[in-house]
Amino acid sequence: MPQPTSIITGASRGIGRAIATELARTHQIIGTYRSRADAAESLRAETGCDIFPCDVASRASREALLEFARGRFPALDLLVNNAGMGPRERRDILDATEESFDELIATNLKGPHFLTRQAARWMAERGEGRIVFVTSISAYTASVNRAEYCISKAGLSMSVALYAERLAGSGVKVFEIRPGIIRTDMIAKVEKVYEDKIAAGLLPQRRMGEGSDVAKAVRAIADGLLDYSTGQVIDVDGGFHLRSL
Ligand X SMILES: NC(=O)c1ccc[n+]([C@@H]2O[C@H](COP(=O)([O-])OP(=O)(O)OC[C@H]3O[C@@H](n4cnc5c(N)ncnc54)[C@H](OP(=O)(O)O)[C@@H]3O)[C@@H](O)[C@H]2O)c1
Residues at the contact surface with ligand X, assessed by CB under 6 A: 9-10, 12-16, 32-36, 39, 54-57, 82-85, 107, 134, 136, 179, 181-182, 184-187
Q: Nearer to ligand X by C-beta: 132 or 134? A: 134
Terminal C-alpha separation, the chain? 52
232 dihedral zone (left: phi>0; alpha: psi -120 to 50; beta): beta
For 81, the enclosing helix (H) or strand (E) is strand 78-81
Rounded to a whole number of angstroms, the minimum distance from the CB of residue 122 to ligand X is 19
Q: Among residues 33, 140, 149, 228, which one is catalytic?
A: 149
CB-based contacts of 187, cutoff 8 Å, min separation 6: 181, 194
Rounded to a whole number of angstroms, the minimum distance from the CB of residue 95 to ligand X is 22
Please report the DSSP string for 146-158 in residue order.
SHHHHHHHHHHHH
- Is residue 141 helix, strand or coil? coil
Rounded to a whole number of angstroms, the minimum distance from the CB of residue 116 to ligand X is 14
Question: Phi and psi dihedrals of 25, rounded to 5?
Answer: -65, -25
Q: Nearer to ligand X by C-beta: 156 or 167? A: 156
Rounded to a whole number of angstroms, the minimum distance from the CB of residue 157 to ligand X is 12
Rounded to a whole number of angstroms, the minimum distance from the CB of residue 75 to ligand X is 23
Q: Distances in Å between the alpha carbon of 112 and those of 10, 26, 190, 204, 238?
A: 11, 24, 26, 31, 25
Q: Nearer to ligand X by C-beta: 55 or 77? A: 55
Residue pair 169/69 in contact (Cβ under 8 Å)? The answer is: no
Please report the DSSP string for 203-224 in residue order.
SSS-S-B-HHHHHHHHHHHHTT
Q: Nearer to ligand X by C-beta: 53 or 231? A: 53
- Is residue 61 helix, strand or coil? helix
Q: Nearer to ligand X by C-beta: 41 or 125? A: 41
194 flagged as catalytic:
no
Residues marked as catalytic: 149
